[in-house]
Structure 1
């Protein structure tokens, strides 16, 4: 990384106090704490990193006025105690974002950090405060005037226009900001009893997609191409069952711990997802650090996905893909199947490819239009 780029972001960051995480005890050679390049005094070599961790405890958007890094420290403590099974995945922990004088100042600082790391084509995971911090992820693309595809994994649609708290209405800002660069939005895991029917009508009119938690749990593998297509991902711990994430006081229902880890593995496998935020963790509401442990396991599976994704070839290297050309409903298109990972892509009318599933190919083979293809074509 160029020194100028380090100078650009280091002023926004505070180093990690490692003694708070390991009680001044050394990690053994097989633990993640020994393998990670952590910002304690010297800034990490982010050029060599496959995954960059940044903490951001900003929660004023959820009505919490005082900064509290205890939750981020708890997640780090449990994560760095885990064993390192992914030798090909290099981790850099660049510390915590300093709180700005205002909420917007913190957004701007995180946006600047993400912009610099995005220019280096790095995957960043934000261990965050409230979910509205995701606006900083979006603003990276807004500032560059680039189209962005977003995924939220959350029990609730944060579109409450009657609330003054950004954490409860930031999606409306993302959907209506002008000029708007939101190409597509997917919401995974909403729980119907928390969502006003008109919200879903608004989402559908925008040609965005929402997936109810029960449907996702029945066929969670169908979410892999949804996550694979996203540039930015926000995961709110309200999407996880209270029994697996006790800090979630909103609902007892949702994804179990293994399903949450699988969704994060999908995010790691994606070559597109540049920033992933894990939001909504309130350390004061946790029990025996179980939510912190759950998040640490999600980070481990994110690494697992990154290692799996390294086995995938670029779409341009067609010798690593099976090609299937076919017609459906008077449209001619092509499906690609990876010989390495068995994942699927389909071609749209503008000749670009988007991630899809084998089920989409089977639908097209029966001369029916896959719904995923139709909605993507409509957005063109």
Structure 2
């Protein structure tokens, strides 16, 4: 009997994952990760992790598996929360969920599980793991979940071969309704529990309030840039190389106060992200205002009216050399090489046709169609078919 430690989160997905593994004959241990209890940064008056750990305990009792709680709040604060504050301060928008998987669940947590003699770690992610042989070597694949509506492979886009080797995703072959059905039949306390929202494992977080506890508010101006501003009809220079052209396309537009008119004030550019339309509190425009750029140095926000404003769209992005990550290291590109892929820049976005161009300066991802709200600090992930083969931080 192989031993598997399941990250029981107190939700329906990990509950059913534990049940399925037990049915398959594994020796299953449930482990709840407590990732937050820093009262200096209050998150909300509710204490969701207590409720969640309680639900996880009830599920473990029902399934007849051993259960314990591990406190990872120190590592979580250092690897996730401090990183988030730092990124927002620099005007970037991090993705805590992708990071939490790479740094906490499949690293710190995995090491604890292996120290308990586990052969594998399992989670309730909607994705699948494949195995192929290549040159006499076993290679692990990260495949999309069967439920296209719930596929969560994007959140695991930073995993390595070593991490995948030790991972199991029991519900990847199921749809969400099937998972709920199993939980109902077993009469699990989590059967009808709503899916958790907010920061990975912290629970009910309102981001601006969370950030304000570390990043001081400072008043700045909001500008509106007209869709027909001359900055959008500038002549495109001629390029001496493809790399120069891609660099130009990835650079994006640098706005100044001359490009727009003042339409309001904000409490800190570092609280906002590109593509955002809520929380600006500027009225009186025909269409909703979307953020097209932020500048934390001058503490300025630039906006445009409507979801089709030209300032929202860009075709190309750059991933710096140190931020390029291949799950399939055997497919990684050498300088000068290209690859056609399907890529996405956020969770739940439909995959888009794109080409990867590898240069010494980094990896350019050039989409066939311009993409809305390409955001620095977020992750781009690329697929071949239903296999996610690599990812990187948008720079």
Higher relative contact order (CA 8 A, sep 6+): 2
Q: Which has the higher strand share?
A: 2
TM-score by length of 2: 0.23
Q: Which has the higher helix share?
A: 1
TM-score by length of 1: 0.24
**Structure number with bigger Rg:** 2
